[in-house]
Amino acid sequence: MSVVLIVEDELLELDFLKSIVAEELSAKDKIITCESGIQAVKLAKQYRPDIIVLDIRIPEMDGLQALQEIRKFLPQASVIILSAYSDFSYAQTAIHLRVQEYLLKPVKPSVFKQVFHDLLTTVTTCQVPVDEEVKEPETDQIYFIEKALKYIHDNFKQKLPLQAVSSYVFLNPQYFSRIFKKEVGVSFIDYVNKLKIEHACKLLETTNYPAYRISSECGFTDPSYFNRVFVQQMNMTPKAYRRNHLYDNADN
């Protein structure tokens, strides 16, 4: 049996979360709800939930303070934080408290449903022994960069400005740019453009798309900029690259 605790003081939001959670649970599972941080700690002690859905801005004791207390007796509970603020200090504290997901309000129903479903699957199929040590990420920076890299690899084929990625991982753009280069070894724009040009090369090899379409398929909004980046990385134009590829294949 899975036990889910939802902590949210806005009643409409609470009903929304409860309805989605209920769709994912079976009849033997339990949903508990409350509206304040103090109630959350009390109910967590009483019911020992497997998953906690927790708003940050709640009465009496904010969500992160409540979670800090809950972690003392429920170190293995999986937690989804809901916040209306993409503030780095909140996200940093959440990572220290071993939060699985940090979602910004307003949360799309499809996004919350998928996140909750994935978390529930993990909880029900991979129970962690109570005495197993819970390891925190080595550093906050590594956690944020790993999350950013996954997002980049999933979305590099579209326009992907630094601000969009830094917002996704709740970091200030300037700070994100610095730690990205420090951890990855290249700048954000160089890393993204490398992925785009690698994809462009595959399209040049496998399709007869004109350069302007390949530029669009790789997420460039300006074909001339695509051409400049391609030449910078490959030391030849897209047209020359395709011609060389066809020539090499003809020889083979």
Residues 6+ apart with CB under 8 A from 200: 214, 215, 217, 218, 226, 230, 238
pLDDT at 151 over 70: yes
Find how far residue 64's CA is from the centre of its chain.
19
Among 139, 141, 164, residue whose Cα is nearest residue 154: 164
DSSP annotation of 240 reads H
- CATH of 190-251 given 3.40.50.12780, 2.40.50.140, 3.40.50.720, 1.10.10.60: 1.10.10.60
Going from N- to C-terminal start, the domains of the chain cover 3-125, 140-185, 190-251
Give the model confidence (pLDDT) of 5-19 as tens digits. Answer: 999 999 999 999 999
Question: What is the percentage of the chain residues whose pLDDT exceeds 70?
Answer: 90
Q: Concatenated DSSP letters for 74-128?
A: -TT-EEEEEES---HHHHHHHHHTT-SEEEESSPPHHHHHHHHHHHHHHHHH-PP
pTM for the model: 0.54
Give the model confidence (pLDDT) of 84-127 as tens digits. Answer: 876 666 777 777 788 888 888 888 899 999 999 988 888 876 74
Give the model confidence (pLDDT) of 210-251 as tens digits. Answer: 999 999 999 999 999 999 999 999 999 999 999 988 877 665
Q: Please name the amino acid found at residue 113.
A: K
- CATH of 3-125 given 3.40.50.300, 3.40.50.1820, 1.10.3720.10, 3.40.50.2300: 3.40.50.2300
Q: What are the angstrom distances between the C-alpha of 152 and each of 59, 88, 101, 147?
A: 37, 20, 18, 9
